């Protein structure tokens, strides 16, 4: 009898394994990764608008956070027909959601209470999104947590929690969305929000669990970019530097903020709006040949 799918093969069975093989797109016109229509519009304004057009419906996890809300607005400005916010507490930003509905009356804008580590809950939420909005055409994964602690003192339970939310949570959401996209047969875009912490050790705060969780996302997006391109699904990451949000405010962080700014060629932290260009690009028609890429948006911090 074969072992259940959740079990790994025993040592004696290793030599009799039959490994699965990736299937890549052939890039033909009839494939899910066809070349674009090379005919340029006669109207230059129309061409400019269409180049960064966001089509269809986008899920934004952690969408009730500052970065998530700004991204939602940017995606709607560029043509998204629907936005679904996944967050553990979307009710905290109900006023902002209502304001988006007034600003974009033609768009469908909704929110669900979602724990990204709950596999069944995420699957149900994606299905509900498809039913409510008509399709799922993209996802931007902002949901995440950070913990700063000396590694000698860190409880392993904290390590596991950070990786469970930041890394496994992204995989759960990406898998559920990809399955929906495959059912639709329309492809789409998956964007993980990683971090400069995936590229270098932060200073001066110790945060090994967070750094590892974000570094894992860089490899995850590369693996999924390779596996899922044949379905017309592009998977990329954005690696922000220190962003000027409530997470980086307070007197207790004043000295750290000075150090972060002093070690950055731009001399400051980033504004949430400065992340939206990468978010829109990867979700838009301008990003159809961007797959497996990581966009570092950090003011030059990682050049040192």
Q: Which of the residues are catalytic?
A: 210
* 255: DSSP letter: H
Those residues with Cβ within 8 angstroms of residue 126's Cβ, 6 or more apart along the chain or in another chain: 59, 136, 173, 176, 177, 179, 180
Taking the C-alpha atoms of residue 245 and residue 257, their distance in angstroms, rounded to an integer, is: 12
Those residues with Cβ within 8 angstroms of residue 174's Cβ, 6 or more apart along the chain or in another chain: 139, 141, 190, 192, 220, 224, 235
Are 80 and 56 in contact by the 8 Å Cβ rule? The answer is: yes
Residue 228 CA, chain-centre distance (Å), reads 16
User: Given the DSSP bridges, would you call strands 138-141 and 57-61 parallel, antiparallel or unpaired?
Assistant: parallel
| Helix (H) or strand (E) segment spanning residue 276 | helix 276-283
Taking the C-alpha atoms of residue 85 and residue 109, their distance in angstroms, rounded to an integer, is: 8
Those residues with Cβ within 8 angstroms of residue 248's Cβ, 6 or more apart along the chain or in another chain: 242, 257, 269
Q: Which residue has the tokens 């929906």?
A: 180
Those residues with Cβ within 8 angstroms of residue 47's Cβ, 6 or more apart along the chain or in another chain: 40, 41
């Amino acid at each position: 009898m074969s072992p259940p799918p959740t079990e790994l093969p025993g040592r004696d069975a290793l030599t009799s394994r039959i490994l699965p093989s990736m299937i890549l797109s052939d890039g033909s016109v009839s494939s899910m990764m066809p070349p674009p229509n090379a005919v340029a519009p006669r109207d230059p304004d129309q061409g400019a608008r269409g180049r960064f057009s966001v089509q269809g419906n986008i899920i934004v996890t952690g969408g009730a956070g500052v970065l998530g809300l700004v991204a939602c607005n940017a995606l709607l400005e560029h043509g998204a027909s629907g936005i679904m916010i996944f967050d553990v507490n979307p009710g905290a930003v109900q006023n902002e959601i209502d304001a988006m509905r007034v600003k974009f009356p033609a768009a469908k804008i909704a929110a669900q209470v979602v724990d990204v580590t709950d596999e069944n809950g995420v699957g149900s939420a994606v299905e509900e999104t498809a039913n409510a909005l008509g399709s799922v055409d993209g996802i931007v994964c902002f949901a995440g947590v950070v913990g700063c602690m000396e590694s000698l003192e860190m409880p392993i339970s904290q390590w596991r929690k950070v990786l469970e939310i930041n890394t496994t949570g992204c995989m759960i959401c990406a898998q559920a969305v990809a399955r929906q996209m495959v059912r639709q047969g329309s492809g789409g875009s998956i964007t993980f929000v990683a971090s400069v912490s995936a590229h270098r050790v932060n200073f001066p705060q110790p945060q090994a669990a967070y750094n590892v969780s974000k570094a894992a996302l860089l490899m995850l997006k590369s693996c999924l970019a390779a596996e899922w391109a044949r379905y017309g699904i592009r998977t990329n990451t954005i690696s922000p530097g220190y962003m000027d949000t409530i997470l980086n405010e307070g007197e207790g962080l004043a000295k750290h903020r000075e150090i972060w700014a002093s070690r950055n060629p731009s001399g400051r932290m980033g504004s949430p709006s400065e992340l939206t260009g990468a978010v829109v690009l990867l979700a838009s028609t301008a990003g159809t040949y961007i797959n497996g890429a990581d966009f570092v948006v950090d003011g030059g911090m990682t050049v040192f």
